[in-house]
Amino acid sequence: MTVKVADMDGYTYVPDGKIAFIVTYLEMLRAPETPIAAPRDDIRLQRWTAPDLDDYRALFRQVGEDWIWFGRLIYDDDTLSDMLSEPTRENYLPLRNGKPIGTLELDFANPEEPEVAYFGLVPEAIGGGAGRWLMAQAVDMAWARPQTKRLWLHTCTGDSPQALKFYMSCGYRPYKRAVEIADDPRLLGLHGKERAPHIPVIG
């Protein structure tokens, strides 16, 4: 990914066929003093080692299609398999009655600054505190490692409008913004054109 520092004011037009997001980066500089969420006995967390690619893509779509997540759908099988098998990358499934209700990915490539790379619930699991419970698991696992000095993640204007407030309520604080421009995944056939109506398809 190419990152540039823009020196501009005013409007910048986005070409047809592209989408643009304002990305907000958030960080947590110390472990929370009190638990983010109470324990639950209706959900358990399971490490997802060597995910089947079809199952992984299906769950990724289920969690992210309303927000046109595309970050993992653009890769071919070999690239995605190599990425998911990286030794510093850990995927987890929150399970309710044995069925996945979301996804959690932690990236420890920088052991001092781990990243919550992906986090989300399937639509029917949203509400009722499952997301807060899942974030508590992520935070606890990251800060259980003595190397951790900072835990971070990012969200964007294409994501759920509740996401930024949710992350801040869990103890993260914004520290940086960026603009992401990409091909519209709906025009690439990765998602239906009816998805994410808050971001009109142009092109």
CATH code of the domain in which 93 resides:
3.40.630.30
Report d(CA 154, CA 22) in Å as an integer.
10
117 near 107, Cβ under 8 Å? yes
3 in a domain, yes or no? Answer: no
- Summarised one tens digit per residue, pLDDT across range 60-93 is 999 999 999 999 999 999 999 999 999 999 999 9
Q: Please report, in tens digits, the pLDDT of each residue of the chain (203 residues total).
A: 666 666 678 888 999 999 999 999 999 999 999 999 999 999 999 999 989 999 999 999 999 999 999 999 999 999 999 999 999 999 999 999 999 999 999 999 999 999 999 999 999 999 999 999 999 999 999 999 999 999 999 999 999 999 999 999 999 999 999 999 999 999 999 999 999 999 999 98
Q: Give, in order, the Cα–Cα distances in Å from 189 to each of 21, 159, 163, 167, 195.
A: 19, 19, 26, 30, 11
Domain count, the chain: 1
pLDDT at 17: 97
24 in a domain, yes or no? Answer: yes
196 in a domain, yes or no? Answer: no
9 in a domain, yes or no? Answer: no
Residue 116 sits at φ, ψ, to 5 deg, of -80, 95
Average pLDDT over all residues of the chain:
95
5 in a domain, yes or no? Answer: no
Task: State the pTM of this model.
Answer: 0.93
Report d(CA 72, CA 61) in Å as an integer.
10
Give the domain extent around 109: 18-183
